[in-house]
Structure 1
């Protein structure tokens, strides 16, 4: 009885805490096709960190909905003692978007509510070419750090893709585990992440040469973390980045009416005046016609049916006739 009363008291106190929530609202700006992040710290709820392990928990969702939009993700970083909401707004996203973040203080079970208004602006120069990298020694929250992201971009701006120095930006970021990779054998190692950097400028000759250099490795699902047999490995190692060269890709981005497609980079690009031919090829690839019924292969199952059903029935009837005869002759003799 006391346990039931205690449970009811806890439920009532939780309900009162939710009703008496301290509501605050903040506004953030985002750009279509460009990755952004919002740190969710205890300071946003007027809380102070008190050296209590995982003292605060946060849960984000679209206001009035049970979860975040499909293009937004939430992670919690124990090292930073805060969470991160990050993602890439797709083209045509309705703005503004209101997000609701519920904070829970696990020390006294106080609940507070935070509203985030996200205004999404259009992108003038969208990325037409993207580089996809898989970094093994980092977690997602590591690359959400502005300094690390700037360090990664600087490698391409100054060495590998100088043409993109004016408009290079991150278009995608996700954990390697969420993309189907396995957890590392050592818990102290990074889980890995997948990031894409895009620009409106064409790929440089250095990037094309690097893609051809690592093309034989594309057959492997993953490369060892200590694999260092690329000519530009030193640039990333000096920046503290361990790349999986088996997952290095170059993409040409094609923007359609309602979607964004990534086409694998080809060594021989079509000439600039053959856009009509490229459109015809893409249209032919997109058009799908159902095969005719008469064109489908047919097969007779009469032989399998005979072996599986008829033969056992015949054997059973012969056995029954033999047993009946034996019994009849036995009783006649008696």
Structure 2
């Protein structure tokens, strides 16, 4: 702007008064245009973003972390690259969650988020506003943008022939990458040879009831990819339906598919889980089933009319018990507004119930306690009565055992007392000399046998 201003100043000195006024006006317009351009660039960050997907075609929108980094303050240390962890929260405006057809995934706070799904025909012409809230996990600041999804109608929706593949060596966020999805569609187009081929939907195997893989050998969750075309299925895709391959699938063996090598370089497809759908044929089957159901229902009603008996109410009059069945739309009639119970209801006294609940178990427990106490305390015969009924020889024997036991226990408490008579030295049977003790004085007495014959 300064350069423009200096250049215009030189022109002003050499021009006439009319040309001076004209140059001043042009300079002001250029200055205002520069200010306006700066303002529009700044407003792009906060403006809503419009996208125009087609119904029945896969929609993928990447939430780039680099795009949202400008909304947060710079990194505190100059010279270092900002790599703040950023997470996203997406929801339909005015609602806590997203539409049913739209899904979202973000593996880590350091990776981009992805919105993906297949728009339905019911939402054609209705702008869907998605609120995107970005959270900076370092500064705890947030920013919010709006994504306006304008779903357009497709002339060939839906494509008449659809095939769903299960890819075992991919996660959903890896498959959503444009280059990977393009490679897969190229391989399918090489096998199928259609004029038109579109990716319809992508679903993670976890959303179909799959199990989380173990974190070993770089195992993947798996992903289902549905594609649609305008020509019938190729012979290679129909090889899964032959009896030999069906038998191998039932035995959990890989079927023999001639075109598998065209996918094997990058994609490992589970051919036993492939689904081939003819949309027109499926619609015809549904309409035929509806007609059959209605026809069976009509025949049942006619048979009921013929078989219902007549009930005689009066001798002169006969009234049929059959009533015409009036079929509705499956919606219950409106019962009006909800009327809560009035405040005039009588209060119920639970005091008696409370006493009964506590008194009956307490009385039973007290009775059992008294019976047990009588058996344990009042039914004992006593020591004297027991001794009177016991023979004397048994009492003497028992008393001798108790005395010996008491003597041994006293000896174990004090090892310095005299030894028992049974452990004293004996005389030699031949010479008559006294045999000295078999151990020294410092011998540990706790290991000494009670009888000499125990050596």
2:232 to 197, 202, 220: 202
Q: Are residues 1:123 and 2:154 paired?
A: yes
2:117 to 87, 102, 105: 87
Q: What is the root-mean-square deviation in Å for CA atoms of aligned residues?
A: 2.9
Q: Is the 8 A contact 1:137 1:242 kept in 2?
A: yes
Residue matched to 2:57? 34
Looking at secondary structure, tell me which structure has more helix per residue.
Answer: 2
* Structure 2: unaligned runs, 5 residues or longer: 1-44, 73-80, 305-455
CA drift of 1:210 comes to 4.0
1:282 to 279, 289, 304: 289
Task: Single out whichever of 132-141 and 202-211 deviates more from structure 2.
Answer: 202-211
The aligned runs of 1:105-184 (5 Å cut-off) are: 105-126=136-157, 127-158=159-190, 160-162=191-193, 164=194, 166-184=195-213
Q: Is the 8 A contact 1:137 1:190 kept in 2?
A: yes
2:90 to 48, 60, 72: 60
* Structure 1: unaligned runs, 5 residues or longer: 1-21, 255-261, 265-274, 295-334
Paired with 1:78 and 1:250, the residues of 2 have a C-alpha distance of 35
Residue matched to 1:316? none
2:258 to 221, 228, 231: 231
Q: Is the 8 A contact 2:249 2:255 kept in 1?
A: no
CA drift of 1:79 comes to 9.1
- CA distance 1:83–1:280, shift in 2 (3 Å): closer
- CA distance 1:279–1:51, shift in 2 (3 Å): closer
The aligned runs of 1:205-220 (5 Å cut-off) are: 205-212=235-242, 214-216=245-247, 219=250
Q: Is the 8 A contact 1:211 1:248 kept in 2?
A: no
Paired with 1:155 and 1:228, the residues of 2 have a C-alpha distance of 19
Q: Is the 8 A contact 1:95 1:120 kept in 2?
A: yes
Paired with 1:88 and 1:237, the residues of 2 have a C-alpha distance of 27
Paired with 2:141 and 2:153, the residues of 1 have a C-alpha distance of 39
Paired with 1:62 and 1:279, the residues of 2 have a C-alpha distance of 33
- CA distance 1:118–1:136, shift in 2 (3 Å): same
Report SS of the residue matched to 2:82. Answer: coil
Paired with 2:131 and 2:255, the residues of 1 have a C-alpha distance of 45
Q: Is the 8 A contact 1:211 1:249 kept in 2?
A: no
Q: Is the 8 A contact 2:165 2:275 kept in 1?
A: yes
Q: Are residues 1:71 and 2:101 paired?
A: yes
Q: Is the 8 A contact 2:240 2:271 kept in 1?
A: no
Paired with 2:109 and 2:245, the residues of 1 have a C-alpha distance of 35
CA drift of 1:139 comes to 0.5
Residue matched to 1:18? none
Q: Is the 8 A contact 1:139 1:192 kept in 2?
A: yes
- CA distance 1:43–1:32, shift in 2 (3 Å): same
Residue matched to 1:97? 128
Q: Is the 8 A contact 1:218 1:247 kept in 2?
A: no
- CA distance 1:206–1:45, shift in 2 (3 Å): same
Report SS of the residue matched to 1:30. Answer: coil
Report SS of the residue matched to 2:122. Answer: coil
Give aligned pairs, total. 243
- CA distance 1:145–1:176, shift in 2 (3 Å): same
Q: Is the 8 A contact 1:75 1:83 kept in 2?
A: yes
- CA distance 1:205–1:114, shift in 2 (3 Å): same
Task: Single out whichever of 188-197 and 77-86 deviates more from structure 2.
Answer: 77-86
Paired with 2:215 and 2:150, the residues of 1 have a C-alpha distance of 41
Q: Which entry has the higher C-alpha Rg, 1 or 2? A: 2
TM-score normalised per structure 1: 0.65
Residue matched to 1:242? 268
Residue matched to 2:442? none
Paired with 1:80 and 1:33, the residues of 2 have a C-alpha distance of 31
Report SS of the residue matched to 2:66. Answer: helix
Paired with 2:198 and 2:230, the residues of 1 have a C-alpha distance of 10
Looking at secondary structure, tell me which structure has more strand per residue.
Answer: 1
Q: Is the 8 A contact 1:211 1:250 kept in 2?
A: no
